[in-house]
C-alpha cells in the first residue's frame, strides 16, 4: 500500500454547527489534491446532508485492508456518523469519487430503539462484512462506551451491539485479531463535553483509562487506569504490521504518548508506558495558569517508523522516529498556529527552555496571505509518507471556547512536506484550502480521508486471521 497511487482527492466533513451559518446543513467536501490540476487545493464538490445540526465529525469505510481476502468487497462507501444528531450517513464514493452521493441515512431513533446508543464516533470495517462504530453515550447524553454493528451485506441494517458489555466512557478503538485484542479509549460524558471544557469536571466527567477487550469473546479483560499520566486518552493506533503487538495512545489533557504492549509478567494482560512526556507551560492571559499542549490526534506512518501528533493548544506538529519505540527521537517539528504564538494575547512565563522550544514564543507563518487561526488538529499522512495534511477544527463547542475567531473565519487544510529519510517537517506554501471562503459562509473542517485508504482507517490482518473471519 505504501507504493499505491498518490492521493488526488480528499474527503472532509464540513461542520456548520457552531458557526454564524449553523442554520445550514453540514456537508462532505471533496478537495482536489492533484498538483497537476487547475483546481488544486480547492473544493470541487459539496454533498449536503438532508438535516440541520448533525455535527459531522469522524468517518470510516465499509471496507479496508482487513477485508483483502474478500474480493467481493470494495472501498466504495464512506461512513459518516453525526456526533450531534446521532445519525449515521452512508455515502457512495465508488460510482464517481469526485461527486459523492448519499446512499442511506440511518436515523438515530432506530439506533436508540435497537441498542440505546448515541454520540457515534469512530468507524472501522471488520473482515466479516460488518461495520463497527464506537458510541460515547446514550440518547440522554449520559456516558456509555459501546459499539454498534451495521450489516453491509444486508443494506447497512442495524444488526446489534458488538458486545452486551459497556465501559464507562467511549471514544476510539482499534482491533487486532492476531492477538485477540481490541483497545478502546475514553473522552468523557457527552452532556458535559458538548457544553465545552470545564477543568473542574476533569476528575468526575472525563476519562483516564483504556480498555483491553477479548476480540473473540467480546468482553473486557482489563481496564488500565492511567491516572494523571493518561487524562482524556483519545486516539489509539496499533502498529500496521499485524504481527507486532504494540499500540500507541495520545492522552490529550496529559499530553503524553503512551505505548501499550503485552505484559510478559502477567500473561493475557497488557501494560502501558509513557514514552513521550510534554509539560504544560506556565502562562498568563489564558483560561488557566498552565496550558497543556493538548494532543488531539496521532498517527503512525505505514512502515511504522514515524509517529506524528498534533498539539492543538500549543500549535505544533511533531514527528518522532520510533525505530526504538521505548526511546523515541524528535526528528521533525512545525508550528502552524496555537495559543502561544508570538504577538498573541497569551504570555508564556516558564517552560520555553524545554524540548521543541528555542527560548521564545513561536512565530506563526501566514499562508497565501491567510492568518492561521486555531491550532493544528486532525492529521492524515500520504501512503508514501511524504505529505501530511492538517485541519484545525476539534469540535464546535471547544472551537468556540478556545479559538472563537476560527468559528468566525472558518477552517483550513494545510499540507506539510515530510522528510522520510532523516525526519523533518516543512510547510508547503502552495497548498491552502480555505473553508472561510465557502459559498454559504465559513465552516469548520475536521477529519481527512482518501479514496484509496490511509494510515488511520486501514487495519491490516494476517492472512490466517483474515481467512478465518470470512469463512
At 117-149, the pLDDT tens digits run 999 999 999 988 899 999 999 999 999 999 999
Over residues 445-454, the mean pLDDT reads 93
Extract the C-alpha cell encoding 141: 447524553
Task: Name the percent of the chain lying above pLDDT 70.
Answer: 96
The C-alpha atoms of residue 358 and residue 340 are separated, in whole angstroms, by 13
Q: Is the pLDDT of residue 2 over 60?
A: no
> pLDDT at position 463, please?
67
> pLDDT at position 44, please?
98
Among the listed residues 456, 386, 455, the one whose alpha carbon sits nearest the alpha carbon of residue 420:
386
> pLDDT at position 66, please?
64
Over residues 23-28, the mean pLDDT reads 96
Identify whether the C-beta of residue 445 lies closer than 8 Å to the C-beta of residue 412: yes
> pLDDT at position 458, please?
85
Q: Which of 68-77, 159-168, 198-207 has the lowest mean pLDDT?
A: 68-77
Whole-Å CA distances, 208 to 85, 130, 202, 375, 469: 26, 29, 9, 24, 32
Over residues 284-309, the mean pLDDT reads 97
> pLDDT at position 129, please?
85
* Residue 457: pLDDT band with limits 50, 70, 90: confident
Digit-coded pLDDT (tens) for 182-225: 999 999 999 999 999 999 999 999 999 999 999 999 999 999 99
**Mean pLDDT, all residues of the chain:** 94
Helix (H) or strand (E) holding 106: strand 101-106
Task: Name the percent of the chain lying above pLDDT 90.
Answer: 88
DSSP single-letter state for residue 367:
B
Distance of CA 261 to the CA centre of its chain: 21
Among the listed residues 229, 248, 346, 329, the one whose alpha carbon sits nearest the alpha carbon of residue 290:
346
> pLDDT at position 67, please?
60
> pLDDT at position 233, please?
98
> pLDDT at position 213, please?
98
Which residue is associated with the grid cell 501494560? 271
In order, the DSSP letters of 395-408 are -HHHHHHH-HHHHH
Q: What's the whole-model pTM score?
A: 0.96
Strand partners, 29: 12, 46
The C-alpha atoms of residue 321 and residue 334 are separated, in whole angstroms, by 15
Over residues 23-35, the mean pLDDT reads 97
* Residue 93: pLDDT band with limits 50, 70, 90: very high
Q: Is the pLDDT of residue 466 over 90?
A: no
Q: Is the pLDDT of residue 105 over 90?
A: yes
Identify whether the C-beta of residue 353 lies closer than 8 Å to the C-beta of residue 281: no
- Backbone CA torsion sign across 83, 88, 93, 99: negative
In order, the DSSP letters of 210-235 are EEEEETTTTEEEEEEE-GGGGSSEEE
Digit-coded pLDDT (tens) for 222-280: 999 999 999 999 999 999 999 999 999 999 999 999 999 999 999 889 999 999 999 99
* Residue 1: pLDDT band with limits 50, 70, 90: low
> pLDDT at position 461, please?
84
Strand partners, 381: 388
The C-alpha atoms of residue 122 and residue 103 are separated, in whole angstroms, by 19
Q: Is the pLDDT of residue 172 over 90?
A: yes
Counting DSSP H helices and E strands in the chain, the numbers are: 6, 31
* Residue 358: pLDDT band with limits 50, 70, 90: confident
Checking phi first, is residue 296 left (phi over 0); if not, alpha (psi -120 to 50) or beta?
Answer: alpha
> pLDDT at position 69, please?
64
Over residues 302-321, the mean pLDDT reads 98
* Residue 22: pLDDT band with limits 50, 70, 90: confident
DSSP E strand stretches across 162-218: 173-176, 181-184, 209-214
Amino acid at each position: 500500500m505504501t507504493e499505491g497511487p498518490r492521493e488526488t482527492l480528499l474527503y472532509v466533513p464540513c461542520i456548520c454547527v457552531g458557526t454564524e451559518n449553523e442554520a445550514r446543513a453540514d456537508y462532505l467536501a471533496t478537495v482536489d489534491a492533484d498538483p497537476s490540476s487547475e483546481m488544486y487545493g480547492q473544493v470541487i464538490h459539496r454533498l449536503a446532508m438532508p438535516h440541520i445540526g448533525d455535527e459531522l465529525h469522524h468517518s470510516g469505510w465499509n471496507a479496508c485492508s482487513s477485508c483483502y481476502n474478500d474480493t467481493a468487497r470494495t472501498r466504495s462507501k464512506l461512513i459518516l456518523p453525526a456526533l450531534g444528531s446521532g445519525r449515521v450517513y452512508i455515502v457512495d464514493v465508488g460510482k464517481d469519487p469526485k461527486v459523492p452521493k448519499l446512499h442511506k441515512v440511518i436515523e438515530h431513533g432506530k439506533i436508540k430503539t435497537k441498542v440505546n446508543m448515541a454520540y457515534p464516533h469512530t468507524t472501522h470495517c471488520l473482515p466479516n462484512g460488518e461495520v463497527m462504530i464506537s458510541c460515547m453515550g446514550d440518547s440522554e447524553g449520559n456516558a456509555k462506551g459501546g459499539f454498534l454493528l451495521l450489516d453491509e451485506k444486508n443494506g447497512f441494517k442495524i444488526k446489534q451491539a458488538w458486545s452486551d458489555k459497556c465501559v464507562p466512557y467511549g471514544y476510539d478503538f482499534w482491533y487486532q485479531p492476531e492477538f485477540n485484542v481490541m483497545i478502546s479509549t475514553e473522552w468523557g460524558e457527552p452532556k458535559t463535553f458538548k457544553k465545552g471544557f470545564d477543568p473542574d469536571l476533569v476528575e468526575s466527567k472525563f476519562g483516564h483509562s483504556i480498555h483491553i477487550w477479548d476480540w473473540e469473546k467480546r468482553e473486557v479483560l482489563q481496564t488500565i487506569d492511567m491516572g494523571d499520566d493518561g487524562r482524556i486518552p483519545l486516539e489509539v493506533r496499533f502498529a500496521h504490521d499485524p504481527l507486532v503487538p504494540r499500540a500507541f495512545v495520545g492522552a490529550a489533557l496529559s499530553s503524553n504518548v503512551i505505548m501499550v504492549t503485552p505484559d510478559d509478567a502477567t500473561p493475557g494482560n497488557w501494560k502501558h508506558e509513557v514514552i513521550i512526556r510534554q509539560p504544560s507551560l506556565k502562562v498568563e492571559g489564558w483560561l488557566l495558569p498552565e496550558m497543556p499542549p493538548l494532543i488531539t490526534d496521532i498517527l503512525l506512518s505505514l512502515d511504522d517508523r514515524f509517529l506524528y501528533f498534533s498539539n492543538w493548544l500549543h500549535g505544533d506538529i511533531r514527528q518522532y522516529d520510533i525505530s526504538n519505540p521505548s526511546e523515541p527521537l524528535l526528528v521533525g517539528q512545525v508550528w502552524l498556529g496555537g495559543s502561544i504564538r508570538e504577538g498573541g494575547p497569551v504570555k508564556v512565563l516558564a517552560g520555553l527552555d524545554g524540548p521543541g522550544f528555542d527560548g521564545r514564543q513561536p512565530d506563526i507563518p501566514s499562508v497565501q496571505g491567510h492568518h492561521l487561526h486555531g491550532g493544528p488538529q486532525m492529521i492524515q499522512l500520504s501512503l508514501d509518507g511524504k505529505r501530511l495534511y492538517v485541519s484545525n477544527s476539534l469540535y464546535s463547542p471547544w472551537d468556540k471556547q478556545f479559538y472563537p475567531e476560527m468559528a468566525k473565519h472558518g477552517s483550513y487544510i494545510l499540507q506539510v512536506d515530510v522528510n522520510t529519510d532523516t525526519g523533518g517537517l516543512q510547510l508547503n506554501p502552495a497548498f491552502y484550502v480555505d473553508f472561510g471562503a465557502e459559498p454559504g459562509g465559513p465552516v469548520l473542517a475536521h477529519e481527512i480521508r482518501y479514496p484509496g485508504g490511509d494510515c488511520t482507517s486501514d487495519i491490516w490482518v494476517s492472512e490466517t486471521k483474515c481467512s478465518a473471519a470470512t469463512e
